[in-house]
A and B are shown apart, each in its own frame.
Chain A
Amino acid sequence: MIVDYTLIAESLPVMLKGIGITFQLLFISGFLGLILAIFLLLMRLSGKWYLSFPAQVYIYIFRGTPILVQIFIIYYGLPQFGFIRSSIFWPILREPMGCAIVALSLNTGAYVSEILRGGVLAVGKGLIEAGSALGMSAYQKFVYITAPIATRIALPAYSNDVISLLKSTALASTITIADMTGIARTIVANTYAPYEIFISLAIVYLIFTFILQKSFGYLEQYLGRYTKREE
């Protein structure tokens, strides 16, 4: 089998044009998803059933169904309803990018809230008791003790989720978005060279994954500096 290197050389720049879209999807959805995750986490931790239960149901549904289905429901499904089409959200939900970002945010929010919850539960009970014994309020204990420690504990799992999110952005190509995968699929359809195109695209994603992992590695080291004995 001959590898058509000229094809790769010609196609890569074209595919990389989609980087902007991929990054937008990754960072905007990641950010919105994180905010949503914190809300869901607080609802779960509130102890009040009318907050905790809806949050649990939400998380259960969004973690139990494929993200592709969620994307399709939002992009293809919502326009079915008149009240959606005439609502203030319509300008966002009409656009493929808007739908993709909404779907990815809703999805990653569910996963990340569970990851954060795992971190919170892993904070040693004794530390919270020490805070109580010192007279700290519930808010103070959460902000000064639980949150910093939980963040450090949850970071590895969170970094995995960010990488998952990067991979999920490729699904935007199924709703006509011209991200890197979308462009690649068009090229393959024209040139019938799936190996060259898809493998070189995969390598691009791998490079991004590597960069993300390294970055999170540095962050983990920085946050974990109080866990090392030696100065």
Chain B
Amino acid sequence: MSEHSKKNLIQMKNVDKYFGEFQALKNINLEVQRKERIVICGPSGSGKSTLIRCLNRLEKHNKGQVYIDGKELTDQIKDINAVRREVGMVFQSFNLFPHMTVVKNLMVAQQLVRKISKADAKQSAMHFLERVKIPEQANKYPIQLSGGQQQRVAIARALCMKPKIMLFDEPTSALDPEMINEVLEVMVDLANDGMTMICVTHEMGFARSVADRIIFMDLGEIVEESKPSEFFDNPKNERTKNFLQQILTH
């Protein structure tokens, strides 16, 4: 099946996911096209993180199919790392490698996974560090950077792999309020450049201005899915209405 003929970059069909007895994902159906910007929101425990972690197989789905760029995610190892090269992930707790400098953090996967030469990797690293506006931090260790800076480095690290898709798992939830904007700015930039992205977040301002589609999840199900204008002004489902009330009144 040619990758170019597949319109959908991401496809999830009837996906279920269990943690022991507990069902985290119930019958998830999702299609994402190239250049689409999706925001997933919902209360804690709704399965949002689990959903995107199934897309790079950090979690394994139990039932249904997951396709990334036409390739189905199964247990064959070669497939998994090939897919992961194309899917970038940014974590809530940044997860920068503490024992490597910022620039080494950006270079290590390029060299090991994409087999890029050291010189090229460094060039690429500095390019993306400039993109996220902190090239001067290149030789520092992560612990010497602020939270906002660390998260921007994490975004740059994912971008260095030139992924087709970027997944963001609550990227600003662990940041002090004054640092949230610097990270959101980078993400908006990325969106404007045409990156396909799925973002789990509570930042509704970001959602409203950037997202093509907003997905609301609750108790493991996709409850509602619509464009931002409809989503915020005209939510259809009761649960969506309740959630929006709680989130928007503070």
Contact = CB atoms under 8 A, between A and B. Distances in A.
Direct contact of A and B (CB under 8 A): yes
Contact of A226 (B56, B85, B98): B98
8 contacts: A127-B98, A130-B95, A130-B157, A131-B97, A132-B58, A133-B158, A134-B158, A140-B112
Nearest to B81: A135
B52 to A, nearest CB: 11
Interface of chain A, helix or strand or loop or mixed?
helix
Interface stretch (B86-94, B123-131, B212-220): B86-94
Contacts of A129: 58, 91, 95
Contact of A135 (B95, B143, B154, B161): B161
B58 A135 contact: no
B56 A227 contact: no
A75 to B, nearest CB: 43
A228 B96 CA distance: 15
Interface of A: 124, 126-127, 129-137, 140, 144-145, 148-149, 152, 225-231
Contact of A149 (B56, B58, B99, B143): B99
B84 interface: yes
B98 A149 contact: yes
Contact of A136 (B88, B96, B113, B143): B113
Nearest to A138: B77
B143 A228 contact: yes
Contacts, number: 74
Interface residues of B, number: 30
Given A226-B98, A226-B141, A227-B143, A132 B84 contact: yes
B95 A134 contact: no
B95 A127 contact: yes
A126 B93 contact: yes
Contacts of B144: 229-231
A145 to B, nearest CB: 6
Given A136-B113, A227-B143, A145 B95 contact: no
Contacts of A130: 89, 91, 95-97, 154, 157
A86 B151 CA distance: 65
Contacts of A148: 99
A134 B176 CA distance: 26
Given A130-B97, A135-B82, A226-B142, 10 more contacts: A129-B58, A133-B88, A134-B158, A135-B113, A136-B113, A144-B112, A148-B99, A152-B99, A225-B141, A231-B140
Nearest to A126: B95
A136 B95 contact: no
Contacts of B142: 226
A144 B112 CA distance: 10
B175 interface: no
A226 B157 CA distance: 19
A198 to B, nearest CB: 45
B98 A135 contact: no
Given A226-B143, A227-B143, A134 B98 contact: no
Contact of A133 (B56, B99, B141): B56
Interface in B56-89: 56, 58, 81-82, 84-85, 87-89
B108 interface: yes
A133 B87 contact: yes
A152 to B, nearest CB: 7
A149 B142 CA distance: 14
Nearest to A223: B99
Contacts of B191: none
